[in-house]
Amino acid sequence: MEAKIRESIAGGKKLGIMGGTFDPIHYGHMVAAETARIEFGLDRVLFIPTGSPPHKENRLITDASLRYEMVEMAIQNNKNFMVSRMEIDREGPTYTVDTLRILHSIFPEQELQFITGTDALKEMLTWREHEEVIKLARIIGVSRPGYDSKNLIEKISRMYPFTKNRIAQIEIPALAISSTDIRMRVANNKPIRYLLPDEIRLFIKNKGLYH
Ligand code: NAP
């Protein structure tokens, strides 16, 4: 992990880890991270763009360095947000359990809270060493308005009683924005202004992404 990030995270008690592909990052992600930070009293939120997601081998994903650059631009004005290359610099498929093990070994005294889309968590019981994932981190699922995740959380806590109170869910109205929709809009020459920071809109345009 990058030395600068290590330094700024050290000394905290609760670390939020915002995992996602971020192809591209948008205001929904940013509002979700900030809401989770405040609601769960997190000292910092570390964005970790995925490297090579094991569940997406069939979809063409934007180069990891470009996705990283977009996250970097999006969070630059929030001193509580940071972004790490730790997954994108790792060889092979990126498994959340490996990331959490590394973070736990660097910050053994901190409580890890893994934040991601509830849609992504639906598949969580198929993730490599998912039981360990839930042991290593509390899980915060962020969902779009109207998304019913009660069943999912109940199912997980029935299967694994120890997960009780380790999985939380928050509804984020701004998550009506989605990366898939933004990519489709660009491909269809539709506007994406105000769905994400303007700097990123221009970056997408200049790099010719999503066409
Ligand atoms: P995804 O399948 O691309 O996303 C599913 C849904 O969740 C989409 O609606 C997506 O919206 C939303 N979402 C994803 N990340 C989000 C975030 N941080 N905040 C709010 N919404 C989010 O999921 P993904 O991005 O590839 O994976 C999410 C995380 O789960 C990553 O950290 C990934 O490494 C981890 N994961 C691990 C395993 C494993 O260990 N085997 C398997 C799958 C996923 P947008 O498209 O708008 O973002």
CATH (domain of 174): 3.40.50.620
Q: Tell me, what's the pLDDT at 155?
A: 77
Six-digit token pair at 150? 């009660």
Instruction: Give the domain range for residue 51.
Output: 3-7+15-207
Report yes or no: 74 and 200 within 8 Å, Cβ to Cβ.
yes
Q: Tell me, what's the pLDDT at 57?
A: 63
Q: Tell me, what's the pLDDT at 25?
A: 98
Question: From the CB of 94, is ligand 1 less than 6 Å away?
Answer: yes
Question: From the CB of 151, is ligand 1 less than 6 Å away?
Answer: no
Question: From the CB of 142, is ligand 1 less than 6 Å away?
Answer: yes
Report yes or no: 201 and 61 within 8 Å, Cβ to Cβ.
no
Return the closest-CA partner of residue 46 out of 69, 70, 78. Answer: 78
Question: From the CB of 163, is ligand 1 less than 6 Å away?
Answer: no
Six-digit token pair at 187? 């491909």
Which residues are 111's β-sheet partners? Answer: 14
Return the closest-CA partner of residue 205 out of 195, 60, 192. Answer: 192
> pTM of the prediction?
0.94
Question: From the CB of 24, is ligand 1 less than 6 Å away?
Answer: no
Q: How many domains are contained in the chain?
A: 1
pLDDT tens by residue, the chain, 211 residues: 888 899 989 889 999 999 999 999 999 999 999 999 999 999 999 999 998 766 666 678 999 999 999 999 999 999 999 999 999 999 888 899 999 999 999 999 999 999 999 888 878 888 999 989 999 999 999 988 777 777 777 777 787 787 778 889 898 988 889 999 999 999 999 999 999 999 999 999 999 999 8
Q: Tell me, what's the pLDDT at 144?
A: 84
Residue 93: how many CB atoms within 10 A of its CB?
15
CA of 116 to the centre of ligand 1 (A): 6
Report yes or no: 82 and 53 within 8 Å, Cβ to Cβ.
no
Q: Whose CA is nearest to atom 1 of ligand 1?
A: 120
Q: Tell me, what's the pLDDT at 190?
A: 98
